[in-house]
Amino acid sequence: MNSDKKKRLLTGIQPSGRPHLGNYFGMMKQVVNLQDEYETFVFIADYHALTTVRDKEKMHENILNMVIDFLAIGLNADKVVLFQQSQVSEHTELCWVFNCITTMPFLMRAHAFKDAQEAKKKDITVGLFDYPVLMAADILLYDAEIVPVGKDQKQHLEMTRDIAEKFNSMFGDTFILPDALIRDDVAVVPGIDGKKMSKSYGNTIPLFAKREEIERLVKKIVTDSDGEMPKNVYAMHKLFRSEEELAPIYESHKGRYGDLKKILIEDIDAFISPLRERRAEIAKDINKVKEILNNGANIARELAGAKMRLARERLGLLL
């Protein structure tokens, strides 16, 4: 197949802490599985993370760690364009252009903003309010056709399409309307309390958790039962084994939640330990990691620069 014909896939992740099993199964794994089939772009959404991370050391560390994490789970830096959002200034430039055609009532419908407002937060920043517009710029700059994300990002993708349509209808066809790729089976990975796994709920199992951490967290899984079935343990277990494999195990350990948790601990650890080892190897060479990001930014800048020129031309800014 002619590689020029490959469709383009793009996604981003905020460097706002350690990735967890929800990030992995909901998004990261999808990207690794699809990296040969699509022309793949993955970026670290550091400007988005600035809405919550305001610590120089942490930001720095989180960015590098996120790249190492992606490489450790099998993202192939020779094929994938991996870069840092803040290194490609067109993201914020196009964000401004979109700001000028996006209304406040439209952004007030965004879940993240509504949640913050309902929680009566007094410190909602302009950055949080504008988050979906920057995300639209991230995606539309690259003519991305497919955007793998978890279900919590569905609305952002719809807003991206709306913004693209609005620009196109005002200034002529310029941006491609992207499709979200959300796998139903892992659209919402549950945390140890059964709610959506999320850093902000403190219910996560980190993707590179150590054995002791896995043990401690699995023991904390809330054993809400559905008949004899510990729902939350089973929901987590399904990420690691098929339902066919699990059926006899859950049948023969009916009601013995402690034993089922032990099996789950083994399964999670067996899955994570090779990743942990790969990660430790990759982390030894930080210069290599930085070089990957630099190369990625150079490629991204070319594409983003060309798209931004076209947008400026359509806007009447090029004389």
User: What residues line the site for ligand AMP (CB under 6 A)?
Assistant: 13-14, 22-23, 26-27, 149-150, 152-153, 186, 188-189, 196-198
- 14 or 102: whose CB is closer to ligand AMP? 14
Minimum separation from the CB atom of position 84 to ligand TRP (A): 12
- For the beta sheet containing 81-84, the strands, ordered from the edge strand earlier in sequence to the opposite edge, are 81-84, 39-44, 8-13, 146-148, 179-181
296 interacts with, out of ligand TRP, ligand AMP, none, CB within 5 to 8 A per kind: none
Residue nearest to ligand TRP (CB): 12
Specify which residues 179 forms β-bridges with: 146
Specify which residues 84 forms β-bridges with: 44
Residues that bind ligand TRP (CB under 6 A): 11-14, 45, 48, 135, 138-139, 147, 149, 153, 156
- 132 or 150: whose CB is closer to ligand AMP? 150
- Tokens matching residue 278: 């790969």
Residue nearest to ligand AMP (CB): 26
Minimum separation from the CB atom of position 170 to ligand AMP (A): 29
198 interacts with, out of ligand AMP, ligand TRP, none, CB within 5 to 8 A per kind: ligand AMP
The answer to whether 84 and 129 are in contact (CB under 8 A) is no
138 interacts with, out of ligand TRP, ligand AMP, none, CB within 5 to 8 A per kind: ligand TRP
- 152 or 215: whose CB is closer to ligand TRP? 152
Minimum separation from the CB atom of position 100 to ligand AMP (A): 27
- 196 or 261: whose CB is closer to ligand AMP? 196
